[in-house]
A and B are shown apart, each in its own frame.
Chain A
Amino acid sequence: DMKVTQMPRYLIKRMGENVLLECGQDMSHETMYWYRQDPGLGLQLIYISYDVDSNSEGDIPKGYRVSRKKREHFSLILDSAKTNQTSVYFCASSLDREVFFGKGTRLTVV
């Protein structure tokens, strides 16, 4: 069963706290992504990972960093969260033209 799993699904953090969003996939895909989705906008690419320890900035990397130490696991880290990072975060993995998305993590920074 092809699946991308995100944890947690919902998270509330105070401004300045650190945030860890986790993503796992069971398809051995090399490429994984982190996106954020805000109302009225298309998904925006934060980071892309081509394999273990092979990560590249996307279009909006500022304020975020990532970690990929195993192929099946990709983490998004917010050091000192800001209120404008309140959003829904999606992880995805892909192989050629196929792409699979997780169910998203709704992060609220207060």
Chain B
Amino acid sequence: KTQVEQSPQSLVVRQGENCVLQCNYSVTPDNHLRWFKQDTGKGLVSLTVLVDQKDKTSNGRYSATLDKDAKHSTLHITATLLDDTATYICVVGDRGSALGRLHFGAGTQLIVIP
């Protein structure tokens, strides 16, 4: 059973527009949540990690929220660029140590058009 659900599956936006990606999960315990960016044919690059019960982070044009009560996270991308075209993957870690497991969403494919 999929424990990390991402929506939408895919999204097309025009350069300069903002977008919001969603992540809902049922992983327990939920120690932390991380968003990755995966360019086509490349590895996963970490964008941000959220840890607290209700957490917010900001990394340039990327900002994210986490609500552990709702088991829900969002990734906001502001003023999108063509280079933002990628798959964005939500990952929930059930522990903060090597004994933990990472639970991966299938990703949201974002396409930014001119």
Contact = CB atoms under 8 A, between A and B. Distances in A.
Q: Binding site of A, secondary structure by majority: helix, strand, loop or mixed? A: strand
Interface stretch (A13-21, A68-76, A97-105): A97-105
Interface residues of A, number: 24
A60 to B, nearest CB: 13
Given A42-B89, A102-B43, A103-B42, A97 B104 contact: no
Contacts, number: 51
B92 to A, nearest CB: 10
Interface of A: 4, 30-31, 33, 35, 40-45, 50, 90, 94-99, 101-104, 106
Interface of B: 2, 4, 31-32, 34, 36, 41-46, 49, 51, 89, 93, 96-98, 101-107
